[in-house]
Amino acid sequence: MRIEKQVEERMRDGTVLRADVYRPDRAGSWPALLLRLPYDKTTRHYRETLVDIERLTAAGYVVVIQDVRGRFASGGEFYPFIDEASDGYDAVEWAARLPEVNGDVGMIGMSYHGFTQVAAAAVQPPSLQAIAPMMTFADGWGTMRGSRGVLELGKWQSWVAESMLPDHLERAEGPEGPARISAYLKHLPSWLGKGDPLTWPPVTAAGLPSYYRDFLLGDVSAEARQRMQATPESIKVPALFLAGWYDCFLEETMDLYQRSAGLAELWIGPWTHEDQSGQAGDVFFPGAQVDRTGLFLQWFDRWLKDGTAPLRDPVHYYVMHAGEWWSGAEMPEGQAGAVFNLHPDGLLSAEMPKLEQPGRQVTHDPGDPVPTSGGNILMSGFPAGSFDQQEIQARNDVLVYTGAPLQSDWEILGTVQAHLRMTLSRPDLPIGLRVSEVKPDGSAWNVVDTVQAEEHTIDIGRTAYRFSAGSRLRMEIYLSSFPRMENRQHPVWAQIHGASQLHVFAETPPVFKD
């Protein structure tokens, strides 16, 4: 493998972006695989962990890793998402003209560098032949602002402080710049959500980047927001999407798969945003790890080379606690719908509660918010995945509804949805919901969860999950999740009425013990 460092590309507005180019050892003309990212491209993660560049070049690809505008070696000013469509178009066409590149380009990457693929593909550069976005989204503005009506403050603060500020300071002040916030970064989890977000010490100490405040206040023009959004229906090239059951961008990635116009393939594993080994929180799912580089090679060989690889089923997903990968023509969605009613005594049952029974009230105490615990999160110091929720479910500010023990194993597939009849202390009050599996020993392991500002119908999440015989289905309702959500400074409450329901799609109807 031959490496050429800091190769320059000039954008249409004259800004110079820089990339490292990795070429096969042998002479030839090869397709290029382009990765455009705002993070440090020199780290081992981007050469060996995310993908194995040695294998890609040995297989006959030129790999190009480029710093996006305003980050690390590239010129210009960084503002999240806003230049990735136009810069991505230019970068693809530039990569196609590099020495030893045959004119065909694919794109790889996850999260923000998944978005750089989606944004570029949506504006259809002629040389782009296929993409492979992992755990990503099409709407940078809506996703980071909170597409479900709730700003996930902990995620936003973690990303800005941990991932963006060090390079921001080094570019402004030189190598000594990042040292000014090192104490904050060392203890960042303890700072998340503390105080007024607009005067949050880790960012004010750094010299507040304009986008931090803009995103918090929603102070961005309609034209700028439009530039942060890609149109999935405009993606015509083949796209391989990878998603995680415990990833914060699960719904966004699945939406991309459904809406993209080209041939698409989807893989969903029991992965978090930061770990795709099969370890998701305190639970390990055997057989869940995939050879990501091998999967990408099969995909790009089909579309950038001879195209002889056999077509696979379009959807592949891991069924948690079945230990199996299933595949098919459609996203997992069970054919048997099960409806559970929320009873005022805490029972979760197919039977309707008596209408004269009063509802249950849950209250938020600003002095003691419900802590964030696992699930589909991405926050510094707060691991995602599945954890025993017994301690949280025992709190008096969490409503718990529990079903009867299952007589046999039961697979739920697809969307888990709540239909709530509520009286709220104020309109658009954010509600936290979690569904878990309660084992015979009393441990309660989260399956899906969400925080949303909806009043009636709430999609809690999608999953493919096998409940074991003897376990119980449990749903909980709460009004705070700190520091995932900003801690409200005044008490609020919600009254849950007896006609509320939980809807679950499954392979077969559940059978309960007598």
Q: Strand locations in 76-155, DSSP E?
A: 101-110, 128-134
For residue 488, name the pLDDT band (cuts at 50, 70, 90). Answer: confident
Residue 76 tokens, joined: 């210009």
| pLDDT of residue 310 exceeding 80 | no
> Computed from CA positions of residues 308, 313, 315, 321, in that sequence, does the dihedral angle turn out positive or negative?
negative
| pLDDT of residue 467 exceeding 90 | yes
Give the single-character DSSP code of 14. S
- Phi, psi values for residue 204, rounded to 5°: -70, -30
Predicted local distance difference test score (pLDDT) of residue 175? 86
Report pTM. 0.96
Predicted local distance difference test score (pLDDT) of residue 146? 80
Give the single-character DSSP code of 332. -
Residue 456 tokens, joined: 């009636």
Q: What is the mean pLDDT of residues 377-389?
A: 97
Please name the residue that has the structure tokens 């700072």: 191
Find the range with the poorest average confidence among 176-180, 283-287, 400-404, 473-477.
176-180
- CA nearest 130: which of 140, 138, 118? 118
| Contacts for 26 with CB less than 8 Å, ≥ 6 apart | none
Residue 294 tokens, joined: 């091998």
| pLDDT of residue 356 exceeding 70 | no
Predicted local distance difference test score (pLDDT) of residue 456? 82
For residue 309, name the pLDDT band (cuts at 50, 70, 90). Answer: low
Sheet with 336-342, strands from edge to edge, namely: 348-349, 336-342, 501-506, 410-419, 457-467
Residue 429 tokens, joined: 């009050």
Whole-angstrom Cα distance, residue 505 to residue 372? 26
Predicted local distance difference test score (pLDDT) of residue 489? 84
Q: Each residue of 108-158: pLDDT tens digit?
A: 999 999 999 999 999 999 999 999 999 999 999 999 988 677 889 999 999
- CA nearest 447: which of 408, 401, 481, 416? 416
Q: Each residue of 415-459: pLDDT tens digit?
A: 999 999 999 998 888 999 999 999 999 999 999 999 998 778 999
Predicted local distance difference test score (pLDDT) of residue 302? 95
Q: What is the mean pLDDT of residues 480-502?
A: 92
Whole-angstrom Cα distance, residue 270 to residue 245? 5
Q: What is the mean pLDDT of residues 66-94?
A: 98
For residue 499, name the pLDDT band (cuts at 50, 70, 90). Answer: confident
Q: Strand locations in 230-310, DSSP E?
A: 239-246, 264-272, 279-280, 283-284
Q: What is the 3-state secondary structure (H, E, C) of 334-356?
A: CCEEEEEEECCCCEEECCCCCCC
| pLDDT of residue 26 exceeding 80 | yes
Whole-angstrom Cα distance, residue 150 to residue 486? 9
Give the single-character DSSP code of 23. E
Predicted local distance difference test score (pLDDT) of residue 31? 98
Burial (0-12, 13-18, 19+ Cβ within 10 Å), 116: buried
| pLDDT of residue 259 exceeding 90 | yes
Predicted local distance difference test score (pLDDT) of residue 468? 98
- What is the chain's mean pLDDT, rounded? 94
| pLDDT of residue 357 exceeding 90 | no
The number of C-alpha atoms within 13 Å of 236 and in the hemisphere containing its C-beta is 8
For residue 209, name the pLDDT band (cuts at 50, 70, 90). Answer: confident
139-141-144-149 Cα dihedral, nearest 10 degrees:
-90
Predicted local distance difference test score (pLDDT) of residue 453? 86
Amino acid at 170: E
Contact (Cβ atoms closer than 8 angstroms) between residue 264 and residue 241 = yes
Predicted local distance difference test score (pLDDT) of residue 208? 78
Whole-angstrom Cα distance, residue 79 to residue 82? 6
Contact (Cβ atoms closer than 8 angstroms) between residue 389 and residue 438 = no
Contact (Cβ atoms closer than 8 angstroms) between residue 178 and residue 169 = yes
Please name the residue that has the structure tokens 């990833």: 247
Question: Can you spell out the DSSP letters for 407-457?
Answer: SS-EEEEEEEEEE--EEESSTT--EEEEEEEEPTTS-EEEEEEEEE--SSE
